[in-house]
Structure 1
């Protein structure tokens, strides 16, 4: 029997679960005990399922600490006896029918709570009848041999733990491999290791299992890592050269003379990669992503279970839903039980009188929708390579607006051509019941012709062909209907499948056009609309947008009878009215008269009462469009909103040059450059005029970015590069040495030695005399400073030696301040600071309970994890000056450095906070810290940082550059903290403002922040 005990320190992180799975695969334990899980017991059914364990018992965590769990396999029968927040007691029936007691235990780090946990284990001992095994994290050591580095443990605490083990009559099983089970992950002298985890057994277990042994797994994993590193070097040392050879072969295939053969070979490579991508095993991540994309408010199926039910009860149903999806997707289980569909008829017109006036909407089961959505998400990966550029809908990276822009360009070309419309024509196609008339055999053959594998086609056709309908009419359900063709409207997979049918039609039209087989086309004088928008736009442009104004008026009239509060009206205007013109405004720049008409309707809807009477507008609409923080209500200014939507089209023309829309517009308007530098065209189209206006506005907000600096010649900027380079390459040693003064900077004595700076200098002697050190310690001739300190150590006790060394350290700091900052301090001030520092040091190192009880505060500064340096940064803006402050502290709350300063530059608060972040990264890099987390009270900055990859603003670019500078750290994170938790950095900002100076400091921080630093460290 194998038992695995692990202090996981939080199992809510997916990386921890993956590490647990690796441990289970490598060691194959029968029983797993986890402590400090830091999560609710409801999370463990999912973890048990992912770890392929058969049984589980979990104890809830208290906030973000504690928490226990016991998991076991079916081959051992486990019965839970009792449990608490410190232990889980169980009876284990092993293979030969023998029953032993196993107790998973966690000893709290607090001395008082630890003894309470020991008392619980003593009570469990009274119920032991046969063999007993206790394993877990005891948070205690028996002697100093179980600790390496750091301060020694108090003798009385180790004696108490030994007496506790003797009282339990348990034997500590020595490890066969490894010894220490915990370390603080530091380097050098700061590294501390302890043996906190152990396995204790009774005498009966030792007699029955004489070959019992334990081992520390993490050390064997380190050894495995070293072996893997050697194996990787031997196996893959020439892999980079092989990759370069293959890349050259691919380049030769693309650019070589036999282009037809090369294209076929490359196409086969892409096809194979596509098959691998589609047929790979479906994972929990894909299923959960599809689940989160589903709208929980959609109408339910016959079972009456909407998506909101599954989202609300996911902690109970999640494991079963994942198992069902895995069986359907990976094991090709039949989906007949999930594919029962409720059919609802939605009228297309106000008074339907025929079946063609209804649109059938399929209400599928929610679990089937998850399966279908997973398949659709994977299908989207290959759509751009399968669907031609003629189709823009539902294909990732394309927009339906592209087709609208192309249609307007074509119509403009026909109507503005000097030869008249006789030289060309436009064909508009509209299909009736397109989804309902797709033949399944035809569709299956289309997928096979596109080159999809049989396995993938079978999965798709299983979803399409196993559907069963029930129609709900007049609140009654009909009998089951078995269809023989058609795709469902409401199935997440249907839009993507219909693209392949349209692709066949598109290619047939192209073939018919090339072979002159298109005949019998109905000719009309004009085309009213295309994709819901007017085409073309004539001279009376206000008339073309009349439909938008009418739709807005109809929606207001339909809601005017409802008694809405001002909160309801706000939601109605923002969510309903202002969304109506979005589609049209994405293509056209609406005339000013149309915008004013729509805005006046919204204004009447806000101030009106529905009785068609004239109302008093108490505030101008322009002011109501201001943000709420500036006194407005946050309504959209339609003119700015219109320009913003057109700016998206400009952005797409800059960044998506593989679309059909870009090819059409660039060939006509900017064939040689970009959208910002078009050529002059006679009679440009209305859509291009609108895009050009938005491009001019967007161009004004663009800034030049340095980039990687390859195109910048710094020597051309500074002038004569050769002369400057000559000066840099020649150093005069005598000049350099003359810059260093050999005299004492404080008293002018010619003897510049360490013992003079700390003992013989009058400034240093004055500090020592103020501290009460008598002449016996100060007199005498010593060659080195070490000899003097050793002589003093023979006279003073331990406490006095600590105070003496602290005074010397402050004397040295004051000397450095005199040299580098020109700040001379009085002897009394230096002594008082040293005395205060010694007292604080003793308080922080007390082993007993603190003298003052700690008050529980909801919002307090949190110490970083061991080995991590936390930097709190803040900035303040006043008139044309910016003040910043940052302070770095370790896991004990001690200040290890900081910086404050002033910038004579006008900027807003967000940019000031960003520059404070930049200073923090520079400061961390200067001190060579490896693990850094930075806290700021600016939520906007943190949000921009989290979304920096999708942020197209200038501050987003600057944050991406800053993030690139953090690659030198092993760990980096930017966190938000309330203002009350960033008090020290705020005080440094105020200090920089009052003193108007720039200053760096280490542990000798300004006294003004001492109280806040001490309060954060204690709390």
Structure 2
């Protein structure tokens, strides 16, 4: 843990902020305590967000002086007891560490204020029985050694008396002996040690390796204090990684060409690996000789500044310090501009293009992923790095080890060959340069690189140089069917699944594959995914193009709703939610190979796939250190483009096993309503939901299927994370019996399934909405369920307050109303999303899919339940509707505002009630229908020659309507439903959102036109704050600002 304390003497200066940012980047502190901030809370909050700290607490300044701030990173559990203008008092607990008390102090500089302050301070320390840390600018000395010239003996007494009463000791320091200077020259210069860290014996026992460092004075008269509870580690050599900053330096292109064009021999794949190695070595050698001045020069200047600050202050010394500080400030300004350029693409979606934000997020992730201690399989804490590394290495070595598999021929016999010769021919076609290039640029440019250190941006930026050799190497793989193992080396990094993980099972292994391998895998994935809809069970809704995971969510919701409505009548039913333990990591390679063959894939395709899967080698990265290579015997890599599609074939076997059991009546499945398809199970990627009668016999059959599947595939069910929900008419004793049979607690089902709904609207979810990608987390839920208006309004309010800088009860001017903020930037708004309208747009998309995919399983289920005798457009809510159905109807209501017909033959379209004339308001005929022609079809308006019958048109419609009808081309095809707000006629969430916002503001979408003024403003190549500041311009607001005398309230010329 690192704690930084600094009397910054105002954060208004750019140099002061840059110094603070540099400290945070370099040290990644857990807590930062700032004194004399002289800034309002909203300014400090903005800076906190830029630096990536999790939380903050503040004491407002008193006029132009004072002000305290404390920031902390994620994982620090902090509670505050008291805040005054002189101190902040509270307790802290970091992850699994013990709780300790802190008092961050900015002692009064005025003697008259000191007695009252120290009385309050004495009251605090009298109750201390836990570890206690006192840190900050105490504005007192302990001895004459704390100052360059003699100080007040009274100040010596006060601090020594306090330390004695509180049983506090000075933790000492390293660095310059003084923390403050008056900045004067010669004999007038005064330097003192006013900042210090004090602690009681309990603190020292808890953190025996605590060190305090006095950093350089820069941007303030005080130097920052850095308190570290661990010995400061020496910097270690990093693994090679291609740096984008090299591209900005002279001679870079020549270096890349030199390394790439070195002559090598061997196969094309071997040559590719050697060329990458040559570039790697060339870049390493070149980078040592051409280091960026932004790092080396700054460090040199900082060292020189440190020497000057330890020397007597005279005119020459003062001048040199000013020059060095100006030079450092200039370099940091250039560095900020560089990071702005680098971070634009990566972080544009977060709405913040500041380089400090980029650095802070990266530092925060590194800190979160760092493993300090870990529990082993026996529950013992491991704290030594060697013990942690050994435990992790053996755990994953065992995880990826193969276990004996029994004969599973009966399971494979359930798979009918469905891959045709034509499919195999397309899969095994000769690879083309276009295909290679497409795959290369589909892969992320800035994803973490594999062991070779080259990310996608290297290939993208140097494509003209490397494209020929890349294509030759990939063609070699497809021609010969063998992978060069060095290209398939993979690093594994561990990402926490839960907050504050304690065991290795609470980390997710993410594979960092070499980009050159990922190009091959992406080509295979692109070829395969187009066939998945024909090969994968319709009960699987994940990863299959054309399907959405919300489809099965809707079916599951209807099933749960039906189970809840079942009373005393009928047979009791159950739904079992199964979680697979390490689903991707436990797939048996032999089983995958046999499954692919059983589906009918040709041997050449199977060989390509298995070469990608079986030639892998792993190196675990633990706290930045690479572990020895090992060779797995099973598992699919999370990070491999092939992973989701290959896993579909494995899980499809389980689906066929349940289908066979249902066919033989071993399990009964569940029919939500008469006329509905019977459902035995639903698949959500690696999660499975199984339905059946709540009987001991069916539970035993489900367990037997899972056992056979586990033996064959290696997929073990994690019953501790599984759940069961029963229909309301299931007796309690039977629930208990079945839960015991599955080894699931009877209350786990309720908590799990209720948690699904609560998690969608959690506080953490709302925080992510506001601080990151506003709609990333709830979008899945919004596509199925209508969020309550109250919740949407609350989140919109928080977004609005966050944007304008409002903090708690502090009021800020909202320069434009919320209705304007949610309009597009080209219309003078800010382009924010209104959650309620966005929710409706997503529901409208699902309603559109329900109309256009009537044969899908989820569509059949909804039709049988809610509109068996009518179409979806005319469906009613009905009695006891589910939340999902009511939500879909709201989406349909929005859809109908843009839903219309593209005329083919006209036989399906009613002239008066349907929308079929694109350029008319609401796309419908407004002329009244004659009583005898209410059911008239558009086809009746077409002559025998296949053209519009103008005589009939003129007799029935207004002239302007006739003109628009005549513009519609006729065809002999069927009539099709279209979305009128896109040129293609296909539905889009973007246009539906536009319609929803227009309706909410009681305007027609077509009436709004982009403003030429705002289009030109937002197209300017200036920082985003430029156009945004115009929104505050008085010229855009019809406000009358009148200057009145504060005393008599008269005009100035009247006084």
TM above 0.5, yes or no, is no
Structure number with greater Rg is 1
**TM-score, normalization: structure 1?**
0.42
**TM-score, normalization: structure 2?**
0.40
